[in-house]
Amino acid sequence: MKSLICTTPGHFEFREDSLPEPQQGKATIRLKRVGICGTDLHAFEGTQPFFNYPRILGHELSGELVDTGGAAGFEPDEAVTVMPYFNCGNCIACRSGKPNCCVNINVFGVHIDGGMREYITIPVEYLLKGEGLSFDELALVEPLAIGAHGVQRAGVQPGEFVLVIGAGPIGLGTMELARIAGGKVIALDINEDRLRFCKDKLKVHATVNGRQADAVEQVKAITNGDFPTVVMDATGNLKAINNGIQYLAHGGRYVLIGLQKEAFSFNHPEFHKRETSLLSSRNAVKADFEHVIQSMQAGRIQPQTYITHTVAFDAVPDHFESWLDPATGVIKAMVQF
């Protein structure tokens, strides 16, 4: 089978590997789709934390079961998706019901080789049934589950204002799930095309361009002078993270979904006077995946809205670098096998 390896930042090469052997407890999947995530793009450019080379990228996956590995309730040839966060089951986080932040976590395509290959094997406990969704839809479940987990961490309540900073794929998914939770979503970004997408496709409550000198005042006006009670960063940009608190209401919750390598800092009086609740949101848990799948089935999410670029597996090296350039207009690139 053919595998695509990111050997060093900025470089891919194809390799021929042996087909996986059937194993009890391990499901074999013939890949059909791999979504390209910011994690993959950052790994390619050499800016992704928790990353080593060489690595096979890809963790937003869908495919057909070739061998069930003994997984109960699954049949060969059915469509599936994957929870790509492999936890140890023994550490304090796992024992506390938080496998998404396992001390010894192995994220598929990040800590261990991922899905940019024709076949994969995974432990059967990380399989999810396709539930009648298409391969494109199933490959979008994982990035939307990231947003679902962030919204759950924030405890978004119906009717409250939620500001999402960053209208990339994770930010867009966060907006969708915050809307489903009943939040009045404000999208903040510096890209007008992305903001138009939020307004026209996601029907957010309001949009604000973060480059504008009066962006804080705009957010204040939208919220009738109170500011949002939830602010969620989905940029992974240090400046945006440091500045996000200025948009937050007193008594509010600030949730960091985006990830970057440096130390962040806030003005302590600004942080303190709000009695700010600061939360991080890492990965997702099974309930988040199930919530996304159910939302897709019910038509509350239109996943095809996100896919702006498609490319055949063999052509990935020819296109990948271009997806780093905002001018290409990429929201979600999808690799087809």
* pLDDT (0 to 100) of residue 39: 87
Which residue ranges of the chain lie beneath pLDDT 50?
none
Residue range of the domain that includes 33: 2-139+302-336
Flag whether 128 is in a domain: yes
Q: What is the CATH number of the domain that holds 242?
A: 3.40.50.720
Alpha carbon 289 to its chain centroid, in Å, reads 11
* pLDDT (0 to 100) of residue 132: 96
* pLDDT (0 to 100) of residue 51: 82
Same domain, 135 and 9: yes
pTM: 0.95
DSSP states of 204-218 as a string? Answer: -SEEEETTSTTHHHH
Q: Residue 20 has which token pair?
A: 């996986």
Q: Residue 174 has which token pair?
A: 């966060």
Q: Are 208 and 219 in contact (CB under 8 A)?
A: yes
CA dihedral 197, 202, 204, 207 (to 10 degrees): -10
Flag whether 295 is in a domain: no
Q: How many structural domains are present in the chain?
A: 2
* pLDDT (0 to 100) of residue 49: 74
Task: Give per-residue pLDDT as tens, 116-168.
Answer: 999 999 999 999 999 999 999 999 999 999 999 999 999 999 999 999 999 99
Same domain, 212 and 126: no
Task: Give per-residue pLDDT as tens, 50-64.
Answer: 788 999 999 999 999
Same domain, 6 and 101: yes
Helix (H, G, I), strand (E, B) or coil at 143: helix
Element (H, E) at 41: helix 38-45
Flag whether 239 is in a domain: yes
Q: What is the CATH number of the domain that holds 95?
A: 3.90.180.10
Q: Are 169 and 331 in contact (CB under 8 A)?
A: yes
> Which residue carries 């009648």 as its tokens?
132
